[in-house]
Structure 1
Amino acid sequence: MVKHIILWTLKDSLSAEEKETVKAGIKAGLEGLAGQIPGLLEIRVQTGRLPSSNADLMLDSTFVDAAALAGYSTHPLHVAVADGKVRPYTAQRVCLDFEV
Structure 2
Amino acid sequence: LKEELKGEEKEQIKNNMKAHLEALVGKVPGLISMQIVIDGLEFSNADVMLDSTLEDEAALKGYAVHPEHVAVADTYVRPFTAVRTCMDYEV
TM-score, normalised relative to structure 1: 0.89
Structure 1 stretches of 4+ moved >4 Å: none
Structure 1 Cα separation of the partners of residues 48 and 77 of structure 2? 11
- Tell me whether 1:88 sits opposite 2:79 in the alignment: yes
Mapping 1:39-58, distance limit 5 Å? 39-58=30-49
Structure 2 gap ranges (5+) = none
Mapping 1:26-41, distance limit 5 Å? 26-41=17-32
Root-mean-square deviation over aligned CA pairs: 0.6
Identity, in percent, stands at 56
CA shift for structure 1 position 15: 1.6
Give the structure with the higher percent helix. 2
Q: How many residues align?
A: 91
Structure 1 gap ranges (5+) = 1-9
Give the structure with the higher percent strand. 1
Give the AA of the match of 2:7: A
CA deviation vs aligned residue, 1:21-40 (integer Å, no higher than 9, x gap): 00000001100101111111
If asked which structure has higher relative contact order (CA below 8 Å, sep 6+), I would say 1
> Which of residues 62, 69, 75 in structure 1 aligns to 2:66?
75
TM-score, normalised relative to structure 2: 0.97
